[in-house]
Amino acid sequence: MKKILLLALFAIGQTIFAQDTANECINAYPLCGALGEPFLNTIASPNADPLSVESYGCLGSEPNPAWFYMPVSQSGDLNFLIEQYTFGNTPIDVDFICWGPFTGAVCGPEFLNTSAVVDCSYSASSTEEVNIPGAVAGEYYMIMVTNFSNQAGLITIMDTNSQGALDCSGINLNAFLDANANGVQDVGEMGFPLGNFVYEANNDGNVHTVTSFNGSYTIYDEVLGNTYDFQYDIAPEYTDYYTVATPSYTDIPVMPGNAVVTYNFPVTITTPYQDLAIYTIPVSAPPVPGFTYIEQIVYSNLGNQAIATGSINYVKELNATITTISDGSAVLSPTGFDLPFTNLQPFETRTFTVTLQTPVIPDVNLDDAFTSTVTITPLEDDATPENNTSVSTQVVVGSYDPNDIIESRGRDVLIDDFTNDDYLYYRIRFQNTGTASALNVSVDDVLDPQLDQNTVEMLYASHDFVLDRQDNHLVWTFNHILLPAEQDNEEGSHGYIYFRVKPVAGFAVGDIIPNDASIYFDFNPAIVTNTFETHFMAPLSVVAVDQTNFSVYPNPAKDNITIALNKGTETIASVKIYDVTGKTLYTNSAIAANSLQIDSTPFAPGTYFVEITGSTNTKTVKKLLKQ
pLDDT averaged over the chain? 86
In this prediction, residue 15 has a pLDDT band, given cuts at 50, 70 and 90, of: very low
pLDDT at position 259: 63
Is the model's pLDDT at 53 over the cut of 90? no
8 A C-beta contact, residue 84 and residue 39: no
Residue 419: partners with Cβ closer than 8 Å, 6 or more residues away: none
Q: Which of 27-41, 122-136, 284-298 has the lowest mean pLDDT?
A: 27-41
Report which residue type is found at 141. Answer: Y
Task: Provide the 3-class DSSP secondary structure of residue 453.
Answer: helix
Q: What is the pLDDT of residues 396-441, one digit of tens each?
A: 988 778 899 999 998 889 888 899 999 999 999 999 998 888 878 9
Domain coordinates in residue numbering, the chain:
6-166, 170-269, 272-400, 402-537, 544-626
Is the model's pLDDT at 533 over the cut of 80? yes
Higher pLDDT, 376 or 160: 376
Report which residue type is found at 23. Answer: N
In this prediction, residue 25 has a pLDDT band, given cuts at 50, 70 and 90, of: confident
CA distance 364 to 21: 63
CA distance 218 to 260: 8
Q: For residue 599, how many other CB atoms are within 10 A of its CB?
A: 10
Q: What is the pLDDT of residues 342-357, one digit of tens each?
A: 999 999 999 999 999 9
- Between the alpha carbon of residue 510 and those of residues 116, 175, 450, 563, the distances in Å are 73, 43, 13, 22
Q: Do domains 272-400 and 544-626 have the same CATH topology?
A: yes
Is the model's pLDDT at 545 over the cut of 50? no
CA distance 485 to 494: 9
Give me the residues paired with residue 382 across strands: 274
End-to-end Cα separation, the chain, in angstroms = 71
Asked if CATH classification 2.60.40.1510 holds for the domain at 272-400, the reply, yes or no, is yes
Please give the CATH number for the structural domain made up of 170-269. Answer: 2.60.40
Task: Provide the 3-class DSSP secondary structure of residue 454.
Answer: helix
Helix (H) / strand (E) containing 445: strand 441-446
Would you list the DSSP string of 218-277? Answer: EEE---TT-EEEEEEEE-GGGTTTEEESS-EEEEEEPPTTT-EEEEEEEEEESS--B-EE
Q: Which of 152, 155, 251 is nearest to 199 (CA)?
A: 251
Higher pLDDT, 436 or 483: 483
Please give the CATH number for the structural domain made up of 402-537. Answer: 2.60.40.740
Q: Which of 52-61, 68-77, 125-134, 466-475 has the lowest mean pLDDT?
A: 52-61
8 A C-beta contact, residue 178 and residue 212: no
8 A C-beta contact, residue 493 and residue 502: no
Instruction: Quote the Cα angle for 340-341-347, to 5°.
Output: 145
Q: What is the mean pLDDT of residues 451-467?
A: 95
Higher pLDDT, 66 or 321: 321
CA distance 292 to 328: 19
Instruction: Quote the Cα angle for 73-77-78, to 5°.
Output: 70
> What kind of fold does domain 544-626 have according to CATH?
Immunoglobulin-like (2.60.40)
8 A C-beta contact, residue 530 and residue 407: no
Please give the CATH number for the structural domain made up of 6-166. Answer: 2.60.120.380
In this prediction, residue 52 has a pLDDT band, given cuts at 50, 70 and 90, of: low
Task: Provide the 3-class DSSP secondary structure of residue 68.
Answer: strand
Is the model's pLDDT at 512 over the cut of 90? yes
DSSP state, residue 555: S
Q: How many percent of the chain have pLDDT more than 90?
A: 51
CA distance 284 to 282: 6
Backbone angles phi, psi at 543, to 5 degrees: -100, -15
In this prediction, residue 381 has a pLDDT band, given cuts at 50, 70 and 90, of: confident
